[in-house]
A = this chain, B = another copy of it.
Amino acid sequence: MNISPRPSFSVQLSAAWQSSNSLLCVGLDPDATRLPPMFAHARFALFDFCRAIVDATAPLVCAFKPQMAYFSAQCAEDQLEQLIAYIHDTYPTIPVILDAKRGDIGATARQYAREAFERYEADALTVNPYMGYDSIEPYLQWAGKGVIALCRTSNPGGGDLQSLSVNGQPLYQHVAQLAARSWNASGQLSLVVGATYPDEIAQVRRLVGEMPLLIPGIGAQGGDVEATVKAGITTQGTGMMISSSRAILYASAGEDFAHAAAVVAARTRDEINRWRGAGGE
């Protein structure tokens, strides 16, 4: 059902890691209440703001990750469509991850897959594994598309379920094993592991081999870059999409917001590269 001529997500991501010399993923979470004043009366404020961020940071990233909730809350699905199309057209080698954390099964999940991969033409989608393999499999039917399942999240309550002990092993490690083994015959899976707990990133890395990890929680959420990189890096010196949103998007509240975003993004990329020993500074 892959109607797009774009390469598979895993091929795009590997190429982008190399060509950009970056593990940084910029999250596009355009909070309508936090945009610079120049967008106050813009007809397509979310699109205009995100396009400026994309243009300023594209040379610095391995992926962009728009967050659907910010568009849905503003009745701005059309702007999300336009934004992803803009990224595809202007920066065709940068993969786009739609962050929607979908969690449903069967016919309903197939509708969400159509939404993500046909309507929005995302290269990858985040999903929630609580409903089991049935909530992952419908997305895998879209050959080449990336499916990024929540494993260990960086919020304070993330441990309410994920850290519970299942046969002496935390639940999130059980999810990592399922993802690495029986769920990933097609090689389309990645996992979300928050940056707040580097020891847990290391545990997941040990369980999943070279599988890509999407790692939110640096920047505004305070994760430690050195510990995160050392815990998650693969033998290839890659394997991570380290995501930052607010620290980059809102680096300045003034007319220089895009320049300020690029400065913070470059600094974050370089800080990451410093610890993976890949140069970049």
Q: Count of chain A residues with Cβ under 8 Å from any Cβ of B?
A: 52
Number of this chain's copies in the complex: 2
A115 contact from B72, B164, B171, Cβ within 8 A: B72
> Which of the listed residues A72, A131, A133, A137 has the most CB atoms from chain B within 10 Å of its own CB?
A131
B residues in contact with A72, CB < 8 Å: 77, 111-112, 115, 119
Smallest beta-carbon distance A83→chain B, Å? 15
Give bound CA distance, A161 to B149, whole Å.
13
Give bound CA distance, A73 to B118, whole Å.
8
Flag the segment in A8-16, A150-158, A224-232, A267-275 that touches B: A150-158
Smallest beta-carbon distance A271→chain B, Å? 23
User: Which 7 pairs between the two chains have the least Cβ-Cβ distance?
Assistant: A132-B157, A132-B160, A69-B111, A134-B157, A73-B111, A133-B157, A130-B130
Instruction: Name A's B-contacting residues (CB within 8 A).
Output: 29, 31, 67, 69-70, 72-73, 75, 77, 101-109, 111-112, 114-115, 118-119, 128-135, 137, 150, 153, 155-162, 164-167, 171, 174-175, 178, 246
